[in-house]
Amino acid sequence: MTAGLHPWNEDRALRLARERARLPHALLLAGPKGLGKTDLAAWLAQLLLCAQPSAAHQPCGRCQGCTLYAAGSHPDLHVVQPEAVYKSSAGLLAQYALRYPPADKGKDSKDSTVIRIDQIRALIEASQTRPQIAARKVLILSPADSLNVNAANSLLKLLEEPPPDSTLLLVADRPTRLPATIRSRCVNVPVRAPERGAALAWLAAQGQAPAQAELLLELAAGAPLAALALADGDFIGCRTRWMDDIEGLLGKGADPVGCAARWKSAGAERGLSWLQGCVGDLIKLGFDPGAPGLFNPDARARLQALQNRLHLNRLFGFLELVATSRNALGGPLDEQLLLEDVLIQWSRLPRT
């Protein structure tokens, strides 16, 4: 058992730990959301900052480095996250990320969901100094796929001329969103979902009943932490209401404005993200009623009934609208109006 690590990441962590003296200057921890990649990066950071790791390649937990790390004040650990991520996280890394806030948020009064160039510039400046306590500095970017274009270009300079005595850990749910120039300068460390049995055992240990755990894991595409997050937010209950709403809007005379208000109170991002997956399912079913890998695998019959009433070619345009609206969340447009627009367009899709 390794403190701070999820059991399915222990083997990966141990392999990195054994190689720690020869680690490349930049690693890209990549894999689907909900696998604990950021916790893996944090654990590796502590190990790299520890003065006396154990023979089993674990941080000692007692040295000055480990003590400062746990207090959120190690001077050689530098963490950059989007403002919205560190402000909403209770994790230890969020404390470190407070040291690299976006200096210029522009006209936007909301917390930024991207990593901005001034944050990367500050990180580069810090990377040029010598480590203060540890043998090296550890730089973490999480999630690195939230770098905006300017920030990514700036980071590229850091990767092209890596600072001495530094290890850079990039964490990404969607690594293909990173420019190829960045990916090619990092060593890829794939983080994979555990086997189904192990994931279900872990969910049971978190207090999830077996039937619920199976459904959550399926909905989370096998990622245990994502499954647990769905349970915490009553995703199953919300999904039932969203499903009822889109059926109701498609012929039963439901009111899109009232639906939008409900979706907003349940979280506009969650609702739109579900709708995006749901429309993806409808498109898949339009091509192949037996399509595998549905986002809502347990709702196949209901989705097929919806699909039968809609024109497949119109669903592509609607899917794009959902994606665009989702991207617009957090911007200046009102959430209620965005949701109303999407749901009104849905209710107006031509029927067969």
Please give the Cα distance from 93 to 183 (Å, whole number): 23
**Minimum Å distance from CB 75 to Zn ion?**
15
Dihedral angle sign, alpha carbons of residues 141, 117, 323, 263: positive
Give 3 or 205: the residue with its C-beta nearer to Zn ion: 3
What six digits make up the tokens of 155?
Answer: 């980071």
**Minimum Å distance from CB 145 to Zn ion?**
31
Strand partners, 167: 138
**Minimum Å distance from CB 38 to Zn ion?**
20
HSE-CB of 182 using CA atoms within 13 angstroms: 27
Question: Number of residues in contact with Zn ion, rule: CB under 5 A?
Answer: 5
Please give the Cα distance from 42 to 77 (Å, whole number): 10
Contact 272, 325 (CB under 8 A): yes
CA 23 to chain centre: 25
What letter does residue 106 receive in the DSSP assignment? T
Give 59 or 82: the residue with its C-beta nearer to Zn ion: 59
| 3-class secondary-structure state, position 149 | helix
**Minimum Å distance from CB 16 to Zn ion?**
17
Residues 156-195 that bind Zn ion (CB under 5 A): none
**Minimum Å distance from CB 61 to Zn ion?**
6
Give 61 or 330: the residue with its C-beta nearer to Zn ion: 61
The kind and range of the H/E element at 104 are none
Give 67 or 327: the residue with its C-beta nearer to Zn ion: 67
Give 59 or 175: the residue with its C-beta nearer to Zn ion: 59
Residues 64-103 that bind Zn ion (CB under 5 A): 66
Residue 256 neighbours by CB under 8 Å, 6+ apart? 249, 340, 343, 344, 346, 347
Give 51 or 321: the residue with its C-beta nearer to Zn ion: 51
**Minimum Å distance from CB 59 to Zn ion?**
5
- List the x/- string, 29-68, binding to Zn ion by CB under 5 A: ---------------------x--------xx--x--x--
Q: What residues line the site for Zn ion (CB under 5 A)?
A: 50, 59-60, 63, 66
